[in-house]
Structure 1
C-alpha cells in the first residue's frame, strides 16, 4: 500500500504542475487575437494651418468589428472609445460644428446603426492641497483647482503606436502635465512599471506631472476623471487582490472602474489601474507611492469642458472620481517634482492577470515538495515497523 500511495502522490504533484502550466498556456493562447491599426491626425481637415486643438483617430479593425479610439485636446483632454459591429465603419468630422463647440453632431461614426457601445474618459481637473499635518486628507487646505480645459496644449506628437500631449499654464513656468496614449494590436505588457496587462481591446494612458511648481512646501495632488456615456451610465470600482507581484513589485491589488448603461449587467467598458504612482521618470521600487480613489459620483458640466464630448454625445451623462497620490508619511511632491501614473482604458471586461510561470513553478514546488516528504516519511515508518515485526516473530518448532 505504501508504494502505491507514494506513486500517486508524486503523480499528483506532476499533474498539479501540468495543470498550472496548461492554464497559463491556455490564457496565453487566448491573447493571440490581433487588430489592424491605422492612425490619422485631424481626419478631414483641409486647411494648411492646424486646428486649435488636435484630434487623433486610431482605427483598430478586428475580424468583424472595429474599435475607434479618438483622442482630443479641444478643451480638457478626452479619450473616446466607440465599438462597432462592422469592419468597415468610419468616422466623419464636420469641422465647422466641431470647432464651434455649441452643438452635437460635429463627430459621427457611420453607419450609426453599427455602434455597439461608446464612452469617453475626460481628464477634467488637477487639484492640489497643502498636507501640512502629513495626514493625506485632501478635504482640507485645497487650493483653487487647475481646470484642464483652460490649459495650453501642445500639438500631438505621434510615434506609432503612441501619441504624446503636454499642457501648461502661465503659472507652471517650465512645468507641464503630460498624457501619453498607447494603442495595442494584441495582448502584452508595457516594459516599465506598473506593467499593466493590455489586450487588443484596450489602450493605455500614462499621466505625469513634471516640474509643476508646488503652491506649498507639503503639496500633494489629485486628478479628477470623468466617464461619459450617452444614457444614464452606471459605474462602480472594484478592487481585486492577487498574490503575484512579479510585474509590479510590492503591489498586490488592481482597481477596476467598470460601466454599463441603463442598469444592464453587461460590462461595456472599463478603466483599470494599479494603486501606485512613481516619483521619478524611471520607476524604481523606492520611488513608488500609493494612490487612492474616491467613490464615483454623478457630475455635471462635462460637455462644456470637452469639445469631443460636445461633438459626439447629444445628451452626455457623466460619473466622476478623484485619484489622490500619496498616503500619510509618504514623501511630498516637492521631494522630486515629478509624479507618474498609468491607466488602462478599453471596451468589454478588463483583462485578468493570470499567475506568471515563475509563480506557477513556486506554487507547484511548494505544494508538491511537502507532499513528497510526507509520503517518503510514511514509507520509512512502514518499513521500520515491518523490520521490527520480523525480529520479534517466533520461529516454528518442529
Structure 2
C-alpha cells in the first residue's frame, strides 16, 4: 500500500515526476560521497638514495577490501600508472638497479601479483607545435619537429601531501616550462578552479600547463600526445557525453571519456576523463577559455612506448598501447603567443568515470520552466469548469400555460 501511495505521489503530474527523477540523481551523488580511502605517500619506495634519472612517487589508497596504487614517474616521459588490487594489504616492490637501468621488465611489481584486478597507465609522450598561418586550426600542416618528453630535463618531484608537481623543459625552451601536477583524493569532491572536474576516491587528477615557452612562430598552436597502456584491456575508445548543465564549467556542455572495457561491453575498467576546454591564463576565466579537440585512439607500438617510459618498461611485459592527440584552439581563437600560457586538466581513474548530477540551480530552472505552463493549464481548466457549472445552474424552465 505504501509503495502504491509513493507511486501515485510521483506520478501525479509531469512536474512532480521530474522532481522525483532529479532527486534520485541527487541521492546517487550523496551516496557516492560516502566512499573514502586512506592515503599514504612514499617517494622512491624502497630506495636508500635519490635515484638518478627521475623520481617515482607511490600513493597507496586503501579501501575497505581493495587498494589502488597510484605510481607517478619521471624516468623518461612522465607516466601515471594505476593498479587496482582486491586486497587492502597489497604492496609495491621495486628492484632499483634494474628499474634505473630501464632494460628489464618486472623490476616493479605489485604483490601479491594474484591480487591485481586491472591496471591502466597514461604516458605523456610528446608535445607538438604547428604554425597556423591561415588560422584554420588544422594540425596536419606546417608541423614543427615534435618535443619528445622523454628527452626533457625534469625537476625532482615537489610534494605537498597527496599532490606532486613535476616541471621540465627542452633544450630549446627559453625560460619556459611544461608542468604536470598530480592530485590523489580520499573522497569525492570537485576541483577548486575551472574546469572544476568532479572526482572520486577512485580517481586522480592531472593538470598540465605550458608556461612562458617561446613559440617557434607567431601563430603557433599546440597539441599534446597521450598514450594509454593496459594489459588485456587497454583504453581503446573515446565516448563523448552531453549535458544541459554548465554551472561548474561555463559554456561547456560535453565531457570526453577515454575508457577500457571487456570486449566492448558497457562495464568500464578504467578511464581518462576531461572537459574539452583549456585556459590561456593561470587564473582561469571564461574569456580565457579555448576549446580543445581529440583524435581517435589508434594502436601504437608497445615497444616504442616502453622505450620512452621507464615505468612502462618496468611493469608491463607486453604492453597493449593506444594513442591520441589533444589539440588546443579552434579557428579564430587567439594563438598561444597572446598569453604564452595554456592549461588543461584530466582525470585518470579505475572503474566507471564520475557522473555529474543536475545542480540545484538547474533543477530549479527546469521546475519553473516546466511547472509554470502546467499550473497555467490547470488553472485554465478549473476556470472553464467553474464557468460552465455556473452557466448551467442559472438555466431555468419557463412555466407552460
Normalised-by-shorter TM-score class = over 0.9
Matched, 1:287 2:284: no
Per-residue deviation at 1:373?
Answer: 1.0
Identify unmatched segments of 5+ residues in structure 1.
1-6
For the residues of structure 2 that align with 1:177 and 1:383, how far apart are their CA atoms? 73
RMSD: 2.0
Task: State which drifts further: 302-311 or 17-26.
Answer: 17-26
Residues 129-185 of structure 1 deviation map (CA, whole Å, 9 limit, x = unaligned) = 000000000000000000000000011111122111001122212100000001011
For the residues of structure 2 that align with 1:10 and 1:260, how far apart are their CA atoms? 37
For the residues of structure 2 that align with 1:224 and 1:191, how far apart are their CA atoms? 26
Task: State which drifts further: 260-269 or 361-370.
Answer: 260-269
Q: Which residue matches 2:198? A: 197
Per-residue deviation at 1:384?
Answer: 1.8
Per-residue deviation at 1:370?
Answer: 1.1
For the residues of structure 2 that align with 1:284 and 1:269, how far apart are their CA atoms? 31
For the residues of structure 2 that align with 1:284 and 1:73, how far apart are their CA atoms? 31
Residue aligned with 1:244, SS: coil
Identify unmatched segments of 5+ residues in structure 2.
1-7
Per-residue deviation at 1:11?
Answer: 5.4
Per-residue deviation at 1:41?
Answer: 0.4
Per-residue deviation at 1:261?
Answer: 5.6
Q: Which residue matches 2:76? A: 75
Q: Which residue matches 1:177? A: 178
Matched, 1:216 2:226: no
Q: Which residue matches 2:236? A: 235
- Aligned pair in 2 of structure 1 residues 316, 342: CA closer, same or farther (>3 Å)? same
> How many residues in Structure 1 have an aligned counterpart in Structure 2?
391
Equivalent of 1:43, from 35, 42, 45?
Answer: 45
Question: Is the 1:64–1:85 Cα contact (8 Å) retained in structure 2?
Answer: yes
Q: What TM-score, normalized by structure 2, do the two folds share?
A: 0.93
Q: Which residue matches 2:386? A: 383
- Aligned pair in 2 of structure 1 residues 266, 381: CA closer, same or farther (>3 Å)? closer
Residue aligned with 1:133, SS: coil
Residues 322-350 of structure 1 deviation map (CA, whole Å, 9 limit, x = unaligned) = 00000011110011000000001001111
Q: What TM-score, normalized by structure 1, do the two folds share?
A: 0.94
Per-residue deviation at 1:355?
Answer: 0.7
For the residues of structure 1 that align with 2:361 and 2:281, how far apart are their CA atoms? 28
Residues 6-63 of structure 1 deviation map (CA, whole Å, 9 limit, x = unaligned) = x99995345643442243123212221100000000001112x453201000000001
Residue aligned with 2:84, SS: strand
The 4+ residue runs of structure 1 with deviation greater than 6 A are 7-10
Task: State which drifts further: 49-58 or 203-212.
Answer: 49-58
For the residues of structure 2 that align with 1:251 and 1:126, how far apart are their CA atoms? 25
Matched, 1:87 2:95: no
- Aligned pair in 2 of structure 1 residues 199, 258: CA closer, same or farther (>3 Å)? same
Question: Is the 1:154–1:165 Cα contact (8 Å) retained in structure 2?
Answer: yes
Q: Which residue matches 1:267? A: 268
Question: Is the 2:71–2:81 Cα contact (8 Å) retained in structure 1?
Answer: yes
